[in-house]
Structure 1
Amino acid sequence: MNILIWNCRGAMKPLFRKTVMDLVAWHSPIIMVIMETRLSGARAMEIIETLPFDGVEVTDTIGYARGIWLLWSSNAVHVDILATTEQEIHAIIRVRSQSLNWLISAIYGSPRFTERCVLWENLKMLANIHDLPWAFMGDFNEVLSEEEKSGGNPVCMRRVRAIKECIDACPVMDLGFSGPKYTWSNKRETGDLI
């Protein structure tokens, strides 16, 4: 089962729909998580209706920031939404072709540490309630070590401890990634990615 995660940084960009359609054509995802859409409400639904998914859960944005869209093909999976906040969508996924149930958490962590701490507490609470196989995915807006970043401010150990406590309380492990190690540029040149 293919799951695709994309940090689009704005669903209003001119090539947004074309990019989604290309990603779907290349990867055939059954579930797609689009983060940092910067769009919610009626305008988000207008765009989502043009995409090749018939299941949807959308978080509220804060002004023109954040936003998570969880999209799925309901002929392949049944999705029970458990909770949605500005930083997270939690759902139980039931694969229709198998007797397989699992938990998904689509995350776009706040840039503010105090708000991320609320997210960490929500994840710990969910870990105490469910014992299903669980995947959390997305952008946590946090690093676990100095090796996960290049340049910028030094790693804050208080913030590292907070996310590590969350990970330790939840039965998860880091599956790694594919693609460039550093992806955030803040509109800087490629060599300045951090």
Structure 2
Amino acid sequence: MSKKFYWNCRGACDGRLIRNLRLAWRNSCPDFLILAETKSENASLVRRLESLGFDGSAFIPSVGRSGGLCAVWRSEKVNVAVLKLNRQYFHFKCSFVGQPVFLLTAIYAVPVPHLKQELWADLRSLAALIFSPWVVVGDFNDIASMDERIGGSSPNESRMKTFQDRI
């Protein structure tokens, strides 16, 4: 069985990343890993992840200390083609050994309203062209209901309704 892992790591620049990943996986490393909100401006993160046995990668740098996405995979277990990428997402065509082909969109939505609008417009455009199984994972920096939030200020109900309508 293939293993996939998505983690909003909220920063991957410090030296604890590899140690924490090894602890999370114990004896079994995933075949495909996506890290969001890496806050990493350069691909040195990819080199550190390669030390875990990954040999394929895609990287979107953060802008300053905000955002960033990194995907790594084991090419003997999964064939990955990068179809599209931009500041907020990767769009892949994936095929795990012995499994059907599917599309995967991994998202880290920038918490800036006009950039989120661009993301949703892109997703609508992608959706119009997709007739295969499609998986969308990620952090949209929005919530769909009040019970998804703990602490802090009250969520904006209009924003929640907009997110509910989109998903």
Normalization by structure 1: what TM-score? 0.77
Gaps of 5+ in 2: none
How far apart in 1 are the matches of 2:97 and 2:83?
A: 19
Shift of 1:33: 0.9
- Provide the secondary structure at the position in 1 that maps to 2:106: strand
**Residue number in structure 1 paired with 2:17:** 16
Structure 1 CA distance for aligned equivalents of residues 113 and 89 of structure 2: 15
For normalisation by structure 2, the TM-score amounts to: 0.88
Indicate how the Cα distance of structure 1 residues 139 and 95 shifts in structure 2: closer, same or farther if over 3 A, else same. same
| Cα 1:121–1:165 shift into 2, 3 Å | farther
| 1:165 partner amino acid | D
1:81 matched to which residue of 2? 82
Q: How does 1:39-54 map to 2 (within 5 A)?
A: 39-54=40-55
Report how far residue 96 of structure 1 moved.
2.5
The CA deviation string for residues 77-110 of structure 1, in whole angstroms up to 9 with x for no partner, is 1111111111111101012323x01111111111
The equivalent residue for 1:180 is none
RCO higher in 1 or 2 (8 Å CA, sep ≥ 6)? 2
Paired residues, number: 166
Consecutive unaligned residues of structure 1, counting only runs of 5 or more, are 168-194
Q: Deviations over 1:119-162 (max 9, x none)?
A: 11111111111121111112110001222113333332332343
Q: SS of the counterpart of 2:7?
A: strand
Q: Which amino acid aligns with 1:71?
A: V
2:149 matches 1:149: yes
> Residues of 2 paired with 1:151 and 1:10: CA distance?
22
4+ runs of 1 displaced by more than 6 Å? none
Report if the CA contact (8 A) 2:38-2:68 is conserved.
Answer: yes
Could you say what the CA RMSD is over the residues aligned between the two structures, in angstroms? 1.8
CA contact (8 A) 1:57 1:70 kept: yes
CA distance in 2, matches of 1:7, 1:71: 14
CA distance in 1, matches of 2:6, 2:72: 10
How far is 1:13 from its partner?
1.6
